Every structure is written in structure tokens, then in C-alpha cells.
Amino acid sequence: MTRRLTVAQGIVAFLKNQFVERDGQQFRFFEGCFGIFGHGNVAGMGQALEQDPGLRYFLFRNEQAMVHAAAAFAKATFRMRSMVCTSSIGPGATNMVTGAALATINRLPVLLLPGDTFARRNVAPVLQQVESPQTQDISVNDCFKPISRYWDRIQRPEQVLTSLPEAVRVLTSPAETGAVTLCLPQDVQAEAFDFPEEFLQKRVWMIPRNRCDGTLLKRAAEWIRAARRPLIIAGGGVLYSEASAALSKFAERTGISVSETQAGKGSLSYDHPQNVGAIGVTGTPGANILAREADLILGIGTRYSDFTTASKTAFQNPSIRFVNINVCEFDAYKHAAVALTGDARTSVEELLQAVAGYKVAEDYRTKIATLRADWEKEVDRIHDVHKDPPITQGEIIGIVNNFTEPSDIMLCAAGSMPGDLHKLWRTRQPGGYHMEYGYSCMGYEIAGGLGVKMAHPDREVYVLVGDGSYLMMAQEIITAVQEGCKLNIVLLDNHGFSSIGGLSRSCGNEGMGTEYRYRKNGKYDGDLLPVDFEANAASLGALTCRVRTGSELKAALIAARKQSRTSVIVIETAYDERVPGYESWWDVPIAEVSDSEAVKAARAKYEEARKKERYFF
Ligand SMILES: Cc1ncc(C[n+]2csc(CCOP(=O)(O)OP(=O)(O)O)c2C)c(N)n1
Ligand SMILES: [Mg+2]
């Protein structure tokens, strides 16, 4: 039995019938297809999607943004559901490159279907084709190769029979997932083929909870039993594996404290007695002091980015050892760890049995409690800095945090806010804190918020976005309005890049090019540029208001919550008043030679700090 369909129609028919199952729960894996049509996909994929509404189509404004929305959708569903993205050839396709890199770095499944130049070739060069005198087997879509976990070009219709199952295998694999790119030449999309019926039937992909090796588990348990100062680092893998309850039990029984990476924040509620909060460059003093002294790190679902390891300076105990639980072998082996390659939830449960009876000493438990209490006081202090307008970012975060419900989702990605939020945000439910910090991509915020709202239409989504990020990518407000997806956007306007301006100054420079000012006498020394964010957001269809004080912000949040439409609250924020860093450091190389005394001083400090960077063999 076969069904005669175009390649594009066959792809749609296949994708809409792919399901995943874990813990007895089944989900349709591809919820829909985001896209922007051009001549490279409108007659192929466009025709197929119009004919078959089984894979719902969503029109976006920018291809990069649609991939961000797809990645955010996958992240918000703990990777159990995903989206497809279709683009035209050429610029439509390459606009997706940044999104693809973001998805792969954050280990989030997105399926990209860029249009491609003719397989038949006789009419080349076609509009938007990059030519090569060296080969005819190249197109701009080759740019996706290093940032795709699986990449293929469909030159003949029957290739989809072997390519699509590979694509879905990789996308649904907890260890291998990321961006998957299937390039679809314009002519091949429209070609007819007799698809086997079997290929188009429902298929359920079981998401395994792989168990780790028994011998390694015993060794890990021995190492933990021998540890006096152990610390857990919870990464995104804890959330994706839905291992929070298992982790909570493990931490309670053993008394080991839990620190959280950006991706892992919310693994435990902020008020869990073992949660010492954010770790690393943007960490709390408690987590960073415990990391510095730790003799054993149990890393769960973390890829140990430099923000987590404070550029390898976080762990200073000479006899530090690592045990890693990770579904991905590549991550499990990092830092010469005992590598427990397996599912986080299952492995944590088994490890708890293996260390039964172990508990950290009383003095260590007291220390954790003290560090936690001190930190809560510090958070309150930062929330309670009441300055005349422009008010501080810390106060704004406190107001939004205290206003939101535990089931609400806060989202952010780039600028100075991720660091402050990592430290300050009191997350109360897994998934309530959505930070894209693998790529820290400006412009993710609003598009990502839309993806999150599509995943959780019943939950309120709060997007915190800087003025710089907003200016880079705000246009998906229109898509949110179009889809009836309500976002609560809070735009913090500090007239430029507070984050990079601060970084520039800490490197001994003067912050050139980090404030939005008129050019004057050759420099950006003029007045602030008069950007009217309220008018800008209103022109895209959002409800808007501008506030100045904390009480005005509270009133605006109340009003926005009652609305069914997306709203943008604009608030001017102090550029220089920053939440400090605590007990940590980040490696940003400083100029080795310079005429500036400030740069020379910064370089000397830098060279000193670098001495703490370690290798782990
Ligand atoms: C796409 C992209 N380009 C550049 C950067 C580098 N960068 C990181 S933060 C930042 C400034 C962000 O400005 P804004 O959103 O206003 O946040 P603020 O720093 O003021 O808090 C820049 C340019 C980035 N992360 N992403
Ligand atoms: Mg800014």
C-alpha cells in the first residue's frame, strides 16, 4: 500500500504522526510548524501545510525569532514536545542559523526545514543562490552543519524514508538532541512519490530512562561516603528528566546541599532547606563558598559551562573529586569524574539507595542553614533599596518576583538581568525560571516568551527584557497578538548595555559603544537617544504603559494581569546601580599591552586571578 504525495506532503504526513512516551504519558512530538514563506518553500512546504492542517501552521515575522520560539517551546515542555520551522532558501534559511546554534548549545530539539537550491541544477544560479566554482554540491545551508546534531539534504524523494526517522531519533534522544536540519531543495519539495502507508502511520518513540553502570554506581557511592564537604550542582538535565522530587529526597536524606546552574535553577524550590541557590559567576556567596571548599561535586545534568565553574576557579580544594550523572556521556566524563551515564531521575534514585545511611556532619548542616539565612537577608536588602527614579534593577526584580504566582513562568536571556535573576529570583516550581543562558542570545526574550506561552496557555508568562535586547528583536509581539498568546513584558530601559558597559569598565576601559547616545565630537558623548519604547510596542499591537516608581510598577503589573492581550510595561532603570558579584570570577582576557594605566592595572589583577584556574585530571 502506498500513498502518492509530494515530498513536502509526505513530510507533513509523517511528522504529524510522531509521538513520544515517557512514564506512561504520551505526547504528540511536533505540535505545529512555524514559518515564513518565500519562493523556496511556498509551493512545496506551503502547499502541503495548507492542504493538511494536521500540522498547524504559525506565521512569524523573523526566521531567527521563530527558531527561538521553537526552542523555548521545547524547553518549557521539558523536551517532550517540539516545533518544526520552515523557511525559504537563502536569507530565510540563514536567518535560522543563530536559532539553530542556540538550540544545539542548550540541547533543545527543533526541526529546521530550510528550502534549498534546485537538486536538478539546470536553472542555476537561482535567486539567492551562493555559487561555488569548486563544487555544485554546496549551498548556504551548509552553514547549518556544525550547529546541527543531524544534517541532511534531500536530493531524491526516497531519501526522506531514511532521513526523517533519523531526524526524529536524534530530536527525541535526551543525549543527542539539538537542532536537526533537513535541507529541502525547491524542486524536490514539489516532486511526487509513492510513500509506503506504513511510513505514514502513527509511531511512538519511547524516551528511555537509562540506568547507569552498576560498578560505577558503587564507586560513586564510595566516593560520596568518603566525602566530608560534598556539594550537588543541579543543571538543566534535572528539569528535563523531571527529577526534582528525586533530587529533593536525595538532598534531604544525605543533607548534601544543592546549588543550581542557570538551566537548572528551579530544580528545588528556593526555600528547600538544602537549596543554596545559584552557583558560579552569577552565584550566591553560599554556593560559591561551598564549591570552593568542596571535596566532592555531584554534578547532575550539567555541562559545566564557564559560568558554572567560574572559569575553572570555583573548586579550590586540592583533593576535589567529581561524580557526574548525565544522560550524555560527553558531559558525564567532564572533570575526570566517575561517569554515571544515565537518566538523572533514575540515577539519583539508585544512588540514594547506594549511599543509604550517609549523612553530612552536623557542623556542615549548620553551615548550610547559616549561609541560606544570610542570603535571604541579602536578597531582601537588594529588593528593599528604594531609590528615587530611575529605580534599581534589584528592586524591579523583587517587585515582579513578589507579584508573580508560583505557577507563573519568568523568562529572560541576555544582558545584566540573567546574572541578577540567577542570584535573586525565588523560584517556587520547576520550570518557573526560564533562562536561555547557553547562548545568552539578545532577542530571544519576546520570541521565547511566545514559545513558552504556546506550551503553557494557562500560565502567565513574564518576559523581562532589556532595551538593547528589545531593539534587537521585538517584532514577535505581532505574532503574540495574532495568536492570542498573552505575554506580560517588562522592559527595563537603561539606555544601552549596562552589562557590557560594566564589563568594559572592569577591563579598564571607558565603556565605549555601550550607551545609546548621539554622536558628538566624534564620540558617543551626546544626549541620550529619545527612543519611545511605549509608542514602539503600541505600534505592534501591545497594550503599553510607562512607569517610574515601584508602586507604579506594581499597579501596572496588576492591570496587565487582568488583560487578555500582551502588554509592555516600560520602566527606566538605573544604568550604574548593579547587584554585585559574590565570591566568584569570570575569565575575560584583558589587553596585555596598553597605554592606559587602568587597563594595565586590570591586566595585573587578571593575571593574578587566572592563577586559580585548574585542570581536573
Ligand atoms: C545577539 C547578541 N549580540 C550581542 C551580545 C553581547 N551582549 C551581551 S549583553 C549585551 C547588552 C544587552 O543590553 P540590554 O538588553 O539593554 O541589557 P543590559 O545590559 O542593559 O541589562 C550585549 C550587546 C549578545 N549576548 N547577543
Ligand atoms: Mg539596557
CA angle 409, 395, 401 (to 5 degrees): 20
Residue 552 burial by Cβ neighbours in a 10 Å radius (0-12, 13-18, 19+) = middle
Residue 531 CB less than 6 A away from ligand 1: no
Residue 498 CB less than 6 A away from ligand 1: yes
Which pLDDT score is estimated for 575?
85
Q: What is the pTM of this model?
A: 0.98
* Residue to mutate (ligand 1; options 500, 506, 516, 528; most atoms within 8 A of CB): 500
* Consecutive H or E run containing 233: strand 230-234
What is the whole-number distance in angstroms between the Cα of residue 517 and the centre of ligand 2?
12
Residue 117 CB less than 6 A away from ligand 1: no
CA distance 520 to 539: 30
Question: How many residues can be counted in the chain?
Answer: 617
Which pLDDT score is estimated for 464?
98
What is the whole-number distance in angstroms between the Cα of residue 504 and the centre of ligand 2?
14
- Cα separations (Å) of 256 from 100, 228, 253, 368? 37, 10, 8, 9
Nearest to 276 by CA among 287, 266, 285: 287
Which pLDDT score is estimated for 608?
98
User: What sign results for the dihedral spanned by CA atoms 442, 443, 446, 451?
Assistant: negative
Cell numbers standing for residue 538: 503600541
Mean pLDDT, contiguous 10-residue spans, the chain (617 residues): 98 98 98 98 98 98 98 98 98 98 98 98 96 96 98 98 98 98 98 98 98 98 98 98 98 98 98 98 98 98 98 98 98 98 98 98 96 98 96 98 98 98 98 98 98 98 98 98 98 97 96 97 96 98 98 98 98 91 97 97 98 97
Phi/psi at 488 (nearest 5 deg)?
A: -105, 105
Residue 379 CB less than 6 A away from ligand 1: no
For the CA of 440, the closest atom of ligand 1 is 25
Residue 497 CB less than 6 A away from ligand 1: yes
Beta strands in 367-460 (DSSP E): 409-412, 433-435
CA distance 537 to 519: 26
Which pLDDT score is estimated for 576?
83
What is the whole-number distance in angstroms between the Cα of residue 580 and the centre of ligand 1?
18
Which pLDDT score is estimated for 267?
98
Residue 511 CB less than 6 A away from ligand 1: no
Residue 434 burial by Cβ neighbours in a 10 Å radius (0-12, 13-18, 19+) = buried
DSSP-derived letter for residue 540 is T
Nearest to 262 by CA among 243, 248, 281: 281
CA distance 86 to 572: 38
Residue 415 CB less than 6 A away from ligand 1: yes
Residue 574 CB less than 6 A away from ligand 1: no
* Residue to mutate (ligand 1; options 67, 422, 442, 491; most atoms within 8 A of CB): 442
Helix%, strand%, coil% for the chain, nearest 5: 40, 20, 40
User: What sign results for the dihedral spanned by CA atoms 271, 276, 279, 281?
Assistant: positive
Ligand nearest to the CA of 415: 1
Phi/psi at 511 (nearest 5 deg)?
A: 80, 25
Ligand nearest to the CA of 465: 1
CA angle 278, 232, 275 (to 5 degrees): 50
